[in-house]
Structure 1
Amino acid sequence: METVFKFIPLRDRRDEDNFNKSLQTSNAPYILPEKYRVKYEVEEYEGFTDTFVIYPENNSSDLFIFYLHGGGYWSQPLSFHFKFFKNVSKELNANFILPVYPKAPSYHAIDVHKMIMERYLYLIHDKGVSAENIILMGESAGGGLALSFLQVLRDQGLPLPKQAILISPWLDVTNTNPAMIDIQPYDPLLNIESLGYGGIIYAGDLDPKDPLVSPIYGDLERLPPITLFSGTHDILHADILKYSKIATEKRWDVTLYTYEKMNHCFVGFPIPEGKEALGIISNIIRGNK
C-alpha cells in the first residue's frame, strides 16, 4: 500500500484561542509521552527532566548529535520528530542528545539560549566529551537556533562542535525577505504573517534582528563547517538561499543542498528525497562527503 503523508499547516498563533492554549502548555514542564519512550527508546539524559537521549544500538559510540528541534519556538517535539531522531541515531550509530528547551509565549530567546548552553557545557565539562565528537543539528526554528548558538560559542571562546547540519533553518524571524511572497502560494505548511508573529513573541525584550533571535544578522565568520538542506516550496528557502549566497561570496565553509518542489523539513518525510538527504547527512558526518 502506498504511504500517504498528510501535511498539517502550522496553527495561526495570532488567534486568541490558539495563543491562550500555547500560553498554558508552554508554562507547564514537558513530559515525555510514554509511547515515545517505548517505541523510539528515548529516556531522560543524566537525570535531566528536560533533556533526552537515544543511545546507539551497541551503546558504545564516541559520536554525539546535539539536536535542536523545530516547532517555531512554540511547539514541543512531535511523533514525527522522534521517529526522525531514532532514524538518525541508528543510521549514524550515535548518541542522540535532545534538549527540549523552554517555549514561547511563556519563555523567550534568552531563556532558550541559557538552557541549551547549560546542556552543551554539561557534555563538554561534566562528561568530558570532546567538541570534535559533537555534531550540532537542528531543523526549522532549531536550525536557526543552532546558527545563533554557534555565534555565541565562538564569541565566548568556548569549544565549537565539529560541524553543523541545518535542515530548513529559520534564519530571520522578521520574515521580511520579499522573496518569501513568491514562495508562499507553494508552501502548504508555513504562513509568513503567522510564523513572523510567533517569532516576535519569541524574541521577548530583544530586537527581532538580534543575532540571538535571527542569526542571519550576526557575524557568521569563523564558524565550523555548515551544511544546509532546503526545499524550494518552503518560505524559509528565501533566507536560506540569501545566507548561502553570502557564504559563497565570503568563501565560508557552507554547503547548500536544494531540493526542487520540496516542502519545509522534507528531510524527515518518508519519501525518496528525505531518504536521499539522510544518506547525504550520514556521509558528511562519516567524512565521506
Structure 2
Amino acid sequence: MPSVASRVWRAAASVVGARIEYRDPVIVRRKVESRQVRPERIGPPRRMDRTHNVRLHFRYGWPCYEVTPRSGPAHANIMVLHGGAYVEQISGMHWRFIRLLVTRLRAHVWAPIYPLAPQGTADIVVPEIAGFTRELVDRCAGETVLIGDSAGGGLALAAAQHLRAQGGHQPTRLILISPWLDVTMDNPGIPAVEPLDPELSRGALRFAGNLWAGNLDPADPLASPLNGRMEGLPPCTVFIGSHDVLNPDTHRFRALAEDAGVDVDFHEGAGQIHVYPLYPIPEGRRAVDHIVDTIRHEGHRKRPPA
C-alpha cells in the first residue's frame, strides 16, 4: 500500500497538476513560448559550490556541469540526463538527486544541459549525447552509468541505441526513471491509466513530443526509442509508478528488452506517480537506495582486484 506521504504528495499533484504540469496542451505551449523570451536558470544551487567541486564545460556548444566530491577520488562515473518533456530545464529536484549521488557514492557526475525543443530536436541532440557518452565510456574503461528521468530516460535509451549502432562501447548500465519512450503516446493501454495520473496527459505530451521530433516522424526511434532495436543494450534498471501515464510503454519496453536478451531490473511503484523516486517520500527514498546499491555493485564488479 502506498505510504501516507506518497498519498499526500499525489493529492497535492492532483490539485496543482492541471495548472502547472502537463495536463493541458495550451499550458505546455505557453511554457514553451515563455522559455523563448525568459530562459530558465540552469545552474546548481549556490550551496552546492560549498560542499562539492562544480565545474562548467561546454560540449557541442552547450553547457555541461561536472560535479565531484570536494576531496578525495571519485569512485563512480555517472551521466544524468534531466527530464522536463524536452521543453523544460534541469530543476531543483534533479540537482538534489545529483548531490545525493556525489555524496553517497563519491561519484563523478556529469549533467549535460542539452538544448530544448523546439531549437533542440532528437535528430540533433541524440547523436551529440551519444558522442559525449562514448567519450566518458572510453575514458573510464566502460565504467559509466547513464541515468535519465522522464524525457531524460527516453534520451538515455535513444543515445544508447545510437551508440550501439555506431559500434561504440556501451555504458555499464542504464537507469531509467519513469522514462518517456514513445512520444506518439499511441499505446492502447494509456487511456486506462490516464485518469489516474494527476500530472500528465496524452494531448500535452504529444504536443511537446512533436516539438522534440522536429522534422522526424514522431515514431522515429531517435525521438521514440521504444521503436528502436533493443539487442546489445546494457543492463537496465527501470522505475515506474502504476499511476503514471507512461506506465504502459514502460511495460512494453521491459518485454521487448527482455526478448532481446537485455537484463531488466524492473520496479513498479504501486499507487506512485511520475518520477516518484525523485520525491521526498518513503517510496522515493527506497528507490534511491536501490539506485545507489546498484551503482555501487557495478563498481565493485567492474573494478579489478588490487
State TM-score, norm by structure 2.
0.84
CA, structure 1 residues 59+212, in 2 after alignment: closer, same or farther (shift >3 Å)?
farther
Q: Are residue 35 (structure 1) and residue 46 (structure 2) matched?
A: yes
Runs (4+) of structure 1 exceeding 6 A deviation are none
Q: How far 1:217 sits from its partner (Å)?
A: 0.4
Q: Are residue 178 (structure 1) and residue 191 (structure 2) matched?
A: no
Partner of 1:56: 69
Distance 2:231 2:36 in 1: 36
SS where residue 50 of structure 1 aligns? strand
Unaligned ranges ≥5, structure 2: 302-306
Partner of 1:130: 141
Q: Are residue 77 (structure 1) and residue 77 (structure 2) matched?
A: no
1:88 to 101, 109, 121: 101
Unaligned ranges ≥5, structure 1: none
Partner of 1:146: 156
2:26 to 1, 14, 18: 14
Conservation of the 8 A alpha-carbon contact between 2:56 and 2:66: yes
Q: How far 1:279 sits from its partner (Å)?
A: 1.2
Count of residue pairs the alignment pairs up: 283
Which amino acid in the other structure matches residue 216 of structure 2? L
Conservation of the 8 A alpha-carbon contact between 1:65 and 1:94: yes
Distance 1:171 1:45 in 2: 29
Partner of 2:265: 255
Q: How far 1:124 sits from its partner (Å)?
A: 4.7
Correspondence list, 1:109-128, <5 A: 109-124=122-137, 128=139
CA, structure 1 residues 233+163, in 2 after alignment: closer, same or farther (shift >3 Å)?
same
Q: Are residue 67 (structure 1) and residue 80 (structure 2) matched?
A: yes
Q: Are residue 225 (structure 1) and residue 235 (structure 2) matched?
A: yes
SS where residue 37 of structure 2 aligns? helix
Q: How far 1:246 sits from its partner (Å)?
A: 2.6
SS where residue 180 of structure 2 aligns? coil
CA, structure 1 residues 41+196, in 2 after alignment: closer, same or farther (shift >3 Å)?
farther
Q: How far 1:280 sits from its partner (Å)?
A: 1.1
Partner of 1:189: 199
Partner of 1:108: 121
Conservation of the 8 A alpha-carbon contact between 2:230 and 2:256: no
1:170-211 Cα shifts (integer Å, max 9, x gaps)? 010000112111111111111111011100111001111111
State TM-score, norm by structure 1.
0.88
Which amino acid in the other structure matches residue 99 of structure 1? P
Greater helix fraction, Structure 1 or Structure 2:
2
SS where residue 26 of structure 2 aligns? coil
1:107-152 Cα shifts (integer Å, max 9, x gaps)? 2112222432343344356xx3222x20011100000111111111
